[in-house]
Amino acid sequence: MTLRGRLIAVGALVAVVLASGILILVRSRTPDCTVAAPRPSLAPALRALGDFDQAYDAGNAAALEDAAARAASALYGDLIGTAPEAPVAIAAATPGSPDAVVVPLRSHLTGSGPAPLAGLVVFLRDCQGSAYFDTVEDDASTQPALTEFPPVTREQASAQLGSAGVRLEYATSPLRPQWVTVTDPVRSFPAR
Which tens digits make up the pLDDT trace of 134-174? 999 998 888 888 889 999 989 998 898 888 889 999 999 99
Which tens digits make up the pLDDT trace of 89-117? 999 998 888 999 999 999 977 666 778 99
pLDDT, average across residues 5-26? 74
Check residue 39 and give its pLDDT: 72
pLDDT at residue 64 is higher than 70: yes
Give the chain's end-to-end CA distance (angstroms, integer): 76
Q: By C-alpha distance, which of 133, 109, 108, 107 is closest to 121?
A: 133
pLDDT, average across residues 3-24? 76
CB 132 within 8 A of CB 123: yes
Check residue 143 and give its pLDDT: 85
pLDDT at residue 176 is higher than 90: yes
pLDDT, average across residues 17-25? 68
Check residue 174 and give its pLDDT: 95
Check residue 52 and give its pLDDT: 86
180: which strand partners? 167, 188
- Tell me the backbone φ, ψ of residue 31, rounded to 5 degrees: -65, 145
β-bridge pairing 178-181 and 100-106: unpaired
| Mean model confidence pLDDT for the chain | 86
CB 39 within 8 A of CB 64: no
β-bridge pairing 166-170 and 178-181: antiparallel
Rounded-to-integer distance, Cα 143 and Cα 74, Å: 23
Which tens digits make up the pLDDT trace of 28-51? 444 556 666 677 788 888 888 888
pLDDT, average across residues 45-58? 87
- HSE on the CB side for 57, CA within 13 Å? 5
pLDDT at residue 26 is higher than 60: no
| Residue 130 CA, distance from chain mean position | 8
Rounded-to-integer distance, Cα 179 and Cα 135, Å: 22
